[in-house]
Structure 1
Amino acid sequence: MKAHSLLKGLVGAAFLIGAAVSAHAADTLAAVKAAGTLKVGTETAFAPFDYIDAGEHTGLNVDLFAEIGKELGVKIEWVALPWDGVFPALEAGKFDVVAGPATITKKRLERYRFTPPIAEATIAILKKAGDTTISKPEDIAGKKIGVGKATAQLDQLKEFSETLPTKVDVREYPAFTESYADLAAGRIAGVANSLPNIAFVASQRKGTFEVVLPPFGKKSYFGFIGLKDADHAPLMDAIDAAMLKIKADGRMAELQKKWFGASFDTPDAVKDPAF
């Protein structure tokens, strides 16, 4: 009788613990609000979205998440790490959402949930100022071109390379800042990155870099990333709603103009990416 009662008690306790854990996991938004903090993962070497200036973390993402935090009524806690470690850390629960941002692609949509787009991500080439050997995208054939490791820009560059008479000598970098340093030193002929990124870099280093136009590849967009499951759906719904409000009242356009020099006409959602 005692053994039966003890077993019954243990089963009941296990059920209650399991139910508590399940309820906690299923209410991520409530957990974030209870803690008063939204943890955001990112790298800090992707200007003008996230970068370090005079020792301070700055960029469009910092400003935009400050507005998202106001809408949700929480503070933002930043967690910085290399880009190729961001997605594994998100899945490991190190933070609630990824700022990045990341290009919205079909493959990524299968595994992750994206927020409304924050800017275009169409790829273009950055070259050294005065370099007359590259005047259009096709001129990178056979040349050493830097690109970020584990990025959609890498995939697009490789795809574009296949259309050229001589394949591009693709050089992968853990951080784009390293590729810009190699470009300035003449170790590579160009850097492939999204147009907003390289336009910002060129504007900050006039006389050093120039943008090669037009951009190439398929039109794409940047978005923030969260986990694609029922547990995180309430949190992602709340972030989406906050961002659409920020877009509707003009705050998004103001931030785009501040960091890119122009605003972007982006859709409210991307359900069928170009690639």
Structure 2
Amino acid sequence: MKLIPALSALALGVVVSVAAAPAARAADDTIRVATDATFPPLEFVKDGKRTGFDIELIDAMAKVMGKKVQWVDIDFKGLIPGLIANRFDVAASGIYMTDERRKVVDFTDPYYKGGLVVLVRKNDTSIKTPADLDGKKVTVQVGTKSVGFLKDNYPKVQRVEVEKNQEMFDLVNIGRADAAVTGRPAAVEYAKVQPNVRVLDKGLTTELYGFALRKDETALTAEMNKALQTLRANGTYDSLATKWFGKQ
């Protein structure tokens, strides 16, 4: 979903502001995992509980590792800064493994392939390809790669930045935005339940999702990679992927 141009500066600011009151360390058998559960089918809330591909995959990995998961809810824009500030151990929220983010955090091995796409209303014939976005009002989620991508590649776009993924979709639905740029899984999922919107066939980028960790957590990163490999080998990963994304 999800490059922050001033990421290093932002992260530093959070480290300074939180240094006086760091979050309590979790027990050795517990991993503190942060998410912004507003990005179905990767993470969302249903019947008062977090669910989705990322949620179930993290839970399965933790089980292999013999650890418990302590979930932390946070806005997407706060995931990387909060991770660096040691408010939690892992950020799992449809995070793209970008070069900019790799400057300040490490990632596990990639666990799913995605990319940025364009979502528009079905009856809007003015946007047939991404090239038609120039001059349009396009909504994106704050802190995601979509923001920087539009700045760099579509400078004539009128960006409308919102805090939550659902707000972005709602603006397109009611006609207050012409399009939304977001991750493919969420856009496709939304289009399934909202027949008046569609995802353009031509995508904008191809990206890899990874779970983010602090650079000093090399042992935990290696442990999580090993758990992910185990789940791929024993069929659990494929079962979860089929459950949440269908047959690939």
Give the TM-score band, short-chain normalised.
0.7 to 0.9
Aligned equivalent of 1:236: 221
Distance 1:196 1:76 in 2: 24
Per the normalisation by structure 1, the TM-score is 0.77
Contact 2:40 2:185 (C-alpha < 8 Å) held by counterparts: no
Alignment of 1:12-31 (within 5 A): none
- Partner residue, 1:52: 45
Q: Return the letter of the residue paired with 2:75.
A: P
How many corresponding residue pairs? 224
Secondary structure class of the residue paired with 1:102: coil
Give the CA deviation at 1:208: 2.6
> Percent same amino acid among aligned pairs?
28
**Per-residue deviation, residues 88-125 of structure 1 (Å, max 9, x unmatched):** 22122111111113111111112111111122231110
Structure 2 counterpart of 1:201, from 190, 199, 208:
190
Matched, 1:179 2:172: no
What SS class does the counterpart of residue 100 from structure 1 fall into? coil
* Alignment counterpart, residue 93 of structure 2, candidates 100, 105, 122: 100
Q: 1:258 aligned to 2:247?
A: no
Report which of the two has the higher share of helix: 1
How far off is 1:42 after superposition? 0.9
Q: Quick one: distance in 1 between partners of 2:247 and 2:199?
A: 16
The residue that corresponds to 1:8 in the other structure is none
Contact kept? 2:42, 2:185, Cα under 8 Å: no
1:128 maps to which residue?
121
TM normalised by structure 2 equals 0.85
The one-character-per-residue Cα deviations of 1:10-40 (angstroms, maximum 9, x if unpaired) are xxxxxxxxxxxxxxxxxxxxx86x5422110
Q: Match for 1:213: what amino acid? A: D
**Alpha-carbon distance, 1:241 to partner:** 0.8
Letter in 1 for 2:224: I
One-letter code of the match for 1:211? Answer: V
* Residues 142 and 169 in structure 1, CA contact (< 8 A), matched pair in contact too: yes
Partners of 2:241 and 2:184 in 1: how far apart?
A: 13
Greater shift in the superposed pair: 151-160 or 235-244: 151-160
1:114 has 2:107 as partner:
yes
Q: Does 2:161 align with 1:168?
A: no
Instruction: Tell whether the 8 Å contact from 1:116 to 1:244 is kept in structure 2 after alignment.
Output: no
Separation in 2, partners of 1:139, 1:261? 31
Specify the alignment match of 2:210 in structure 1: 223
CA distance in 2: counterparts of 1:244 and 1:155, whole angstroms = 32
Which structure has the larger Rg over C-alpha atoms?
1
Partner of residue 189, structure 1: 178
**RMSD, aligned α-carbons:** 1.7
1:252 and 1:180 map into 2 onto residues whose CA distance is 29
Q: How far apart are the structure 2 equivalents of 1:152 and 1:245?
A: 30
Runs of 5+ unmatched residues, structure 1: 1-30, 264-275
| Residue 139 in structure 1 maps to residue 132 in structure 2 | yes
Partner of residue 15, structure 2? none
Q: Could you tell me how far apart the structure 1 residues matched to 2:151 and 2:114 are?
A: 16
Q: Tell me the CA shift for residue 253 of structure 1.
A: 2.5
Whether the aligned pair in 2 keeps the contact of 1:120 and 1:196 (CA below 8 Å) is no
